[in-house]
Amino acid sequence: MTDIATMPRPVSFGRRLKRFMADRPLIPLIILLIVLVVILQILRPGIVNERWLANTAKFAIPLAILAGCQTMTMLTGGIDLSVGTVATMSAFIMATQIVNQDPTVAFLLAMLPAVLIGLVNGIGVGVFRVHPLIMTLGTSLIGTGFLQVYQRTVIASGAKIPDFLNWLGTGVTYGFPNALLLFVPVAVLIVLMLNRTGFGRLLYAVGDNERAARLSGVRYWQVITALYILSSLLAGITGLLYIGLIKAPSLSLAEPLVLPSVAAAVIGGTSIFGGRGGYTGTIIGALILTVLTTLLTILQMPEGGRRILFGFIVLFVTAAYLRIIEDR
Q: Which residues bind another protein (CB under 8 A)?
A: 1-3, 6-7, 23, 192, 196-199, 201-202, 204-205, 208-209, 211-219, 222, 226, 275-276
Assess contact for 139 and 117: CB atoms under 8 A: yes
CB of 38 to another protein, least distance (A): 32
User: What is the identity of the amino acid at 114?
Assistant: A
Interstrand relation of 172-173 and 176-177 (parallel, antiparallel or unpaired): antiparallel
* CA dihedral for 181, 187, 190, 193, sign (positive or negative): negative
- Give the count of beta carbons closer than 10 Å to the beta carbon of residue 264: 30
CB of 206 to another protein, least distance (A): 9
Q: CB-wise, 80 or 210, nearer to another protein?
A: 210
Residue in 86, 29, 46 with CA at minimum distance from that of residue 280: 29
CA angle 101, 244, 314 (to 5 degrees): 140
Assess contact for 279 and 190: CB atoms under 8 A: yes
Q: CB-wise, 218 or 246, nearer to another protein?
A: 218
CB of 193 to another protein, least distance (A): 9
Q: 176 - beta bridge partners?
A: 173
Q: CB-wise, 15 or 307, nearer to another protein?
A: 15
**C-alpha–C-alpha distance, residues 248 and 253, integer Å:** 8
CB of 271 to another protein, least distance (A): 8
Contacts of 201 (CB under 8 A, 6+ apart): none
Q: CB-wise, 78 or 239, nearer to another protein?
A: 78
Q: CB-wise, 7 or 156, nearer to another protein?
A: 7
Assess contact for 206 and 76: CB atoms under 8 A: yes
Q: CB-wise, 204 or 242, nearer to another protein?
A: 204
Q: CB-wise, 6 or 300, nearer to another protein?
A: 6
CB of 122 to another protein, least distance (A): 14
CB of 24 to another protein, least distance (A): 12
- Give the 3-state secondary structure of residue 248: coil
CB of 222 to another protein, least distance (A): 6
